[in-house]
Amino acid sequence: MRACVKVRQIRGLAALMLAVCVLVSCMVGSFVVTTPALATDADRSYASWSAVSKAIDDEFQQGQSEYKNGNNSGAATRFQAAYNSVYVASNMITVVRDTFGQNKVQSQQDQFQQLQTLVYQQNQASQIDSVVTTLQAEIAQTAAQLDANAKLDKPDVYAQKLRAQIKAERKKLDAAKKKNLGRNGRTWSQVAQEMNVILDKSVATYKSAKGNKSQVAAAVDLINEAYYQYYEKLGFEKNVMNAISGSRVSTVEYQFKECRQAMNNGQTIEQAKKFVTDLKAMLIEDSAKLDKGASSNANPFMQFITSSFGQAFVILLREGLEALLVVAAIIAYLIKSGHKNMVKYIYLGLAAGIVASLVVAALFGLLFNGSGPQQEITEGVVALFAMLMLLYTSNWMISRSSVQAWNKYISEQTTAAVSKGSLISLALLSFLAVFREGAETVIFYQAIFAVSNGADSMIWGGFVAAAAVLVVIFLLIRFASVRIPIRPFFTGTSALMSVLVVIFAGGGVHALIEGDALAGMYIQGLPTNDWLGFYPYVETIVAQILAAIVVISLLCVSIVRSRAKRADIKQN
């Protein structure tokens, strides 16, 4: 008995440990050095495209020299500057795309990326020299062709015209003072240009602030407007995630964060402007890829994923799958334990989660125009609370995975019903599983309808198709689980919930970072997987590691306890 009491105490302490550890993980980043964001220089003037090529070559040569001297980070900075500060900031990337096509740009970008990969490896000087020689020759040839095109403006003239266009668009927007009401037939490139006008206005506001806190806050609000009211609300983020990559979304999100932090931390106007310029280049590049994905000659997958049907299908499937897995596992457990009459309470929790999602989405729409840091923080807190509920439930289930433990549990249920506390916990978990993603899903669908340009039937088609897939998955879990023996059923269900604990830990902390509740230490080069809750931040990775450690610790405790019980049975 004393041993069992000690085991129970250990399990209780382990559950408490996870709650404490997640909070600790949020503070670990303060001891970690952040990878600095790359900077660009949009103010540099070039008389010809060959001059741009020469500037890129200068950066290459300095990067090669730094690498040979053993300064890998210095070499990386030079190669990044060649791309961001010259190739992108001079508008060469845009002109090459417009003149020669996306394939040409992609080829050159791949070579720039290859340099970034090689620079952090040892003994790659000859390979770096080879890539630089090939890329520089290609860029020089491209520049010569651009200069030979009499109809094409030179870089300085092109930049002046672009600035004039942006100024005119800013003046038009300021005069109209119009609220963002959706994409309304605009291309993603047009949306990106509108975002860039807002970002330019933010820089101008920050420049005139001169340390005035209220004006600095106004500049930061403009950055948030570009992010929440355009990048998130119009579906820019989800389209990039589906059609390009989750890693790209993380890079852009962190660049938005860098812009806000630069202003909030009182950095110089030059530093803040460099972060914003880099962000603008990313948005223009991604919007061009999305527009290409919507064209008739694009990859079929890109066409599907950027269509109204595809967006509606993927969003509901992605946001609904986690909630479905949790609810289906709980219902299967109740039926398996002979408490089918209690399933209605789980459905009530599910229905309450849907209603709460609609209410919260409406409130965010009224108070924050449909999105904002408050939504991200709310989602993060709910996810972390749901994580703790999942941890409790999964540990509770696995403790009954043995036949002996299950038979003892059944014999103790004299009222043919689960305890009030357990039932409330399961219903609450069902509610949280739905509520966690529900409000965000509603807001995403509002955005899709806003930008659909009359394609409402396609959106409803995507919704129905995704819902049908989710129903099939639910029914498979619901009816197949009844035929599974006790031990595999509870072990499998507990394992599923344990995995979701780790996923929710990463997703919850990431939402807090997006809402600026946490600073966020970005790790450049790591991939992003939204399905697994894996993001390139120190805090999210530490949270997931700690969650995994606690899950494994509780599993070990359950195994020890199970063996101790079997030993007691044999002795008796």
pLDDT reported for residue 232:
80
Distance of CA 456 to the CA centre of its chain: 27
One-letter identity of residue 553:
S
pLDDT tens per residue across span 73-83: 888 888 888 88
pLDDT reported for residue 561:
75
Highest mean pLDDT (candidates 169-178, 266-275, 383-392): 266-275
Closest to 153 (Cα-Cα) out of 227, 98, 84: 98
Handedness of CA 356, 361, 366, 367 (dihedral sign): positive
State both tokens at 374: 């408050």
Cα–Cα distance for residue pair 505/545, rounded to 1 Å:
9
Cα–Cα distance for residue pair 336/362, rounded to 1 Å:
38
- Three-state SS string over 396-418 comes to HHHCCCCHHHHHHHHHHCCCCCC
- What share of the chain has pLDDT > 90, as a percent? 15
pLDDT tens per residue across span 362-377: 765 555 454 556 666 7
Q: How many CB atoms lie within 10 A of CB 271?
A: 16
Cα–Cα distance for residue pair 155/175, rounded to 1 Å:
30
Residue 229 near residue 364 (C-beta atoms within 8 A) = no
pLDDT tens per residue across span 497-531: 778 788 878 888 887 887 777 877 878 778 777 66
Q: Give the mean pLDDT of 148-177.
A: 73
Is 80 exceeded by the pLDDT of residue 53?
yes
Alpha helices in 119-235, H assignment, sequence order: 125-148, 155-176, 188-209, 213-224
Sole residue written with tokens 């919007």: 287
Residue 431 near residue 350 (C-beta atoms within 8 A) = yes
Residue 512 near residue 376 (C-beta atoms within 8 A) = yes
Minimum mean pLDDT among 28-32, 250-254, 478-482: which range?
Answer: 28-32
pLDDT reported for residue 546:
93
pLDDT reported for residue 43:
55
pLDDT reported for residue 483:
65
DSSP state of 483: G
Averaged pLDDT of the chain: 75
Minimum mean pLDDT among 137-151, 183-197, 325-339: which range?
Answer: 325-339
Sole residue written with tokens 């009401």: 181
Binned at pLDDT 50, 70 and 90, residue 450 comes out as low
Cα–Cα distance for residue pair 352/36, rounded to 1 Å:
44
Closest to 227 (Cα-Cα) out of 364, 360, 372: 372
Within 261-382, strands assigned E span: none
Binned at pLDDT 50, 70 and 90, residue 48 comes out as very high
From residue 103, how far is each of 93, 106, 109, 126, 289 by CA, in Å?
Answer: 12, 5, 10, 27, 11
Binned at pLDDT 50, 70 and 90, residue 273 comes out as very high
Binned at pLDDT 50, 70 and 90, residue 272 comes out as very high
C-alpha angle 51-55-58 in degrees, rounded to nearest 5: 135
Backbone dihedral angles phi then psi of residue 294, each to the nearest 5 degrees: -90, -5
pLDDT reported for residue 37:
36
One-letter identity of residue 417:
A
Residue 358 near residue 373 (C-beta atoms within 8 A) = no
pLDDT reported for residue 490:
60
Binned at pLDDT 50, 70 and 90, residue 70 comes out as confident
Q: How many CB atoms lie within 10 A of CB 504?
A: 30
Cα–Cα distance for residue pair 533/206, rounded to 1 Å:
34
Q: Give the mean pLDDT of 109-117.
A: 86
Minimum mean pLDDT among 112-116, 214-218, 236-240: which range?
Answer: 236-240
Binned at pLDDT 50, 70 and 90, residue 407 comes out as very low
pLDDT tens per residue across span 2-14: 444 444 444 444 4
Sole residue written with tokens 């014999």: 411
Closest to 41 (Cα-Cα) out of 79, 76, 84, 74: 84
Cα–Cα distance for residue pair 412/377, rounded to 1 Å:
42
Cα–Cα distance for residue pair 206/219, rounded to 1 Å:
5
pLDDT reported for residue 203:
93
Residue 245 near residue 290 (C-beta atoms within 8 A) = no
Cα–Cα distance for residue pair 63/75, rounded to 1 Å:
4
pLDDT tens per residue across span 545-555: 998 998 888 87
Cα–Cα distance for residue pair 145/139, rounded to 1 Å:
10
Higher pLDDT, 71 or 45: 71
pLDDT reported for residue 383:
66
Higher pLDDT, 244 or 559: 244
pLDDT reported for residue 300:
65
Is 80 exceeded by the pLDDT of residue 27?
no
Higher pLDDT, 385 or 270: 270
Cα–Cα distance for residue pair 306/302, rounded to 1 Å:
6
Backbone dihedral angles phi then psi of residue 276, each to the nearest 5 degrees: -65, -40
